[in-house]
Amino acid sequence: MEPGGAQLMRRLPRKDAVIIGLGWTGAIMGHELCQAGLEVVALERGPWRDTASDFNIGTAPDELRYGIRGELFLNNSQDSVTARNKMDQVALPIRKWGSFLPGNGVGGSGVHWNGHTWRFLPSDFNILSHYRERYGEGIFPENHSIQDWGISYDELEPYYDKFEYLAGISGQAGNINGEIQPGGNPFEGRRQRGYPTPPLKGQHAQDLFSKAATELGFKPFPMPSANISQAYTNPLGVTLAPCTYCGFCERFGCANYSKASPQTTVLPVLMRHPGFEARTQCEVVRVLKSSDGKTATGVVYIDAQGQEWEQPADLVIMAAYQLWNVRLMLYSGIGKPYDPSTGEGVVGRNYAYQANSSVNGFFDNTHAFNHWAGAGSLGITADEYNGDNFDHTGLNFVGGANINCTSFHARPISARPIPPGTPRWGSAWKKATREAYNTFANVGSQGSVMSFRDNYLDLDPTYKDRLGRPLLRMTFDFKPNEERMSAYVTEKMVPIMRAMGAKQIVANPKKGPWNVVPYQTTHNTGGAVMGDNPRTSAVNKYLQVWDMPNVFVLGASAFPQNAGYNPTGTVGALTYLAADAIVSQYLKNPGQPLVQA
């Protein structure tokens, strides 16, 4: 041991691949690489978590412990980010998560998600060329950096299918091989087959929405759900059980083996794979490079005792959460950092988020919504105003949102819907709470966020983490494009709520400035985006770093901008795409770029 307690770094035996982070992307990639015969180690900075040991049915649905105190989330004393809305502001650190909730530990955010499992629309992938062709250059907002993904929906379709069948997703197909299916989403891209399990059973709110929206000309369909409707055994042989509609999904681990997560779909097989090893409480601090800077040679990580280790590896897979992938690239000097003043550089570029809105309805007491019997993705959706499913001529914005009516929980601490004007305490508040708890329903929208030159990620000049490394700095705001989109779509939601029969309606379209305090969504995207041009993307269409071919960066960090859907389905599909490219192309000729720059 050196003076001051620092220990010398120790070098470990080489592995074929090192995976940073053991959530959805790390687990899927780990399994695919092990199946191809590679020796793989996954390094996870959080704790081990498993259904049997950690999500006991007697303790998992504990709202105070998990919902309010956030036990499954990254501890802010371990790591955080700084945030600001504009480039001329000083960013401040987030000391308690609010707007978004990054997961921690094995399974990552895949443990505590709600389970909405979407495919993006075909036109989401070529959004720039599609809008340009349909509407002309004038449709694009000022200062935007919207770009195509470098991949088409059809190329990604087999991998969407693979992820959905891994996870047992419950839903109703809308388009099988070009044939529109009754009861499904008529706007979705062509899929090769239906969902592996049928939709969940709707509640009173979904029935009302379905009837009201249909009368108004919408074509509502069941939300595709990773809280699955019936027992299902996936292609790996792992079995999930039917959802019990307990409503403890988002912020919680599922105790009933009913929500698709790495734990319920991949890890039971992966953890016993002879080629696989997972080390928990091990935080990767940087990726090591060869002396010519063209190849990664492994990673350095710190274990729970503070010991520093070098793990050499031929292949480095960055599978951490979107924010931490970007930060690790910046620390390690992988890819050129983005500079908003010149628009040059790629790492940190095109950070985006999600612009959600809601329309709340208060009904008379002939309605009993009983959201208590809910599920994370128990919902019904209408997609008429998502993506480019509607004519944007004259609307002055790009993008859209899906419109949902969900019954995902009525947990006693946080489910306190009260009409505006109700006092915040006292007998009037109690009376309103009592009346509204079971007579309240919500219609929400999950809106796209486009990319802009001044929404980006870089390293904070002031604040450092416990290891003395600069925190990641987020510079983000909702732009007029997103506000106009949200106002437009929210306006379309109000008549549905009216037709559902609400006696009082409160509409909340998304408005800036972005506030880090109230929870909005954990759909942070971009920063290491994919594309067909190394000047505007950090990774190619196989998520391979352009100028460091033995590094692949998985996850929503690859989204060039965000669509009007939850990201996990696309994250899973891109992971399978990258895994297939590594196994069927890269390993035959290691160290080579799969796409020529």
Site residues, another protein (CB under 8 A): 51-53, 56-58, 231, 233, 236-242, 244, 246, 255-257, 268-269, 272
> Contact at 8 Å (CB) between 582 and 549?
no
Minimum CB separation from another protein for residue 51, in Å?
A: 7
| DSSP bridge partners of 93 | 82
Instruction: Please report where in the chains the tokens 């105790």 appear, as a residue.
Output: 255
Tokens of 83: 């945030």
CA dihedral 184, 189, 190, 192 (to 10 degrees): -80
> Contact at 8 Å (CB) between 161 and 169?
no
Of 31, 116, 392, 523, the active-site residue reads: 523
Q: H or E stretch including 123?
A: helix 122-125
Annotated catalytic residue 204? no
Q: Which is nearer to another protein, 82 or 227 (CB)?
A: 227
CA dihedral 152, 157, 162, 167 (to 10 degrees): 100
Minimum CB separation from another protein for residue 62, in Å?
A: 13
* Core vs surface per residue 364-392: b (16+ CB within 10 A) or e: eeebebebbbbbbbbbbbbbbbbbbbbeb
Cβ partners under 8 Å of residue 274, min gap 6: none
Residue in 333, 279, 313 with CA at minimum distance from that of residue 18: 313
Q: Which is nearer to another protein, 373 or 395 (CB)?
A: 373
Rounded CA gap, 372 and 248, in Å? 9
Q: Could you give the C-alpha distances from 115 to 376, 496, 528, in angstroms and in order?
A: 6, 24, 24
Cα angle, residue 550 at apex, residues 545 and 554 outer, rounded to 5°: 55
| H helix and E strand count, the chain | 13, 24
Minimum CB separation from another protein for residue 56, in Å?
A: 4
Query: What is the CB neighbour count within 10 angstroms for residue 191?
Result: 20
Query: What is the CB neighbour count within 10 angstroms for residue 535?
Result: 12
Phi then psi for residue 104, to 5 deg, are -150, 145
Phi then psi for residue 317, to 5 deg, are -110, 115
Tokens of 58: 């007697």
Would you list the DSSP string of 50-83?
Answer: -HHHH--TTTSS-IIIIIIS-TTBPPTTT--EEE
Rounded CA gap, 402 and 14, in Å? 47
Q: Show the beta-strand stretches assigned E in 448-495.
A: 456-464, 470-475
How many Å is the Cα radius of gyration of the chain?
A: 23
What residues are annotated to the active site? 523
